Structure 1
């Protein structure tokens, strides 16, 4: 039987891996055979596609903010820093991505890339309070 601690760790690592894989793709770190974007400019083109309600001049800022958020959220989830907070923020970010994809290109892409599932997993993670292999546990012990 899988323990709730193991499930929590798996959620933290899986959500983080998804974020970091997407970031690696937009910086050309995946091979052409598996890449979705392959480079920053292609990623920005996709960012504009799923955010047509924003002026095109905002696209680089939106792309940079999304990328920074994904890196920060991933690192915080991996090390277990403010896990509940960063899990909740991850859930909202993923839900925003899913809704942007759905309203701009249709439901299929968001479903195929499991963005709604990842969002739900992040929200579920935010409800798991028991600390396991987390910096937060070390910080709370140091305070007492």
Structure 2
């Protein structure tokens, strides 16, 4: 029996899910999902996201919170690009996992444990690190070249 026959499909789906999760968050803070206050819109504009960042990291000034928001957004765009273009998937997955860990810690500190649970941040952490542990990414140019099958047992 081949226990790992679904691994290439699962890793592809995890990669796409993480990419579109990151992209959706960026689109929300840039106003692509709608205006602030619209249904299913968390921020709706950049200034609301900076305020949210200030809430998550209350010990920094507004200018530093704005810089942090920019860095986080650029990282999310970079990781999305890496996932979608098959570029250094393992590094993107590790970076995404670390970013989600930082979000979880900040959310627990600012809002309590329920906020990251409701936002599925822990699921994002698990998916990121699980994706990083996949030995061969079959749906990439490097993975297509490899003819070996990973047998962990």
TM over 0.5: yes
Other-structure match for 2:79:
73
Contact preservation (8 Å) 1:81, 1:135:
no
**Structure 1 unaligned spans of 5+:** none
Any unmatched runs of 5+ in structure 2?
Answer: 147-153
Higher relative contact order (CA 8 A, sep 6+): 1
Root-mean-square deviation (Å): 1.8
TM-score by length of 2: 0.85
Structure 1 residue 135 displacement after superposition: 4.5
Deviation of 1:108 after TM superposition, in Å, equals 1.1
- 1:69 and 1:89 map into 2 onto residues whose CA distance is 8
Paired with 1:37 and 1:130, the residues of 2 have a C-alpha distance of: 37
Q: Scaled by the length of structure 1, what TM-score is found?
A: 0.90
Instruction: Give the match for residue 99 of structure 1.
Output: 105
CA contact (8 A) 2:136 2:143 kept: no
- Which among 40, 48, 53 is matched to residue 42 of structure 1? 48
Counterpart of 1:5?
Answer: 8
The answer for the alignment partner of 1:56 in structure 2 is 62
* Alignment pair present for 1:19 and 2:18: no
List, as ranges, runs of 4+ consecutive aligned residues in structure 1 with deviation greater than 6 Å.
none
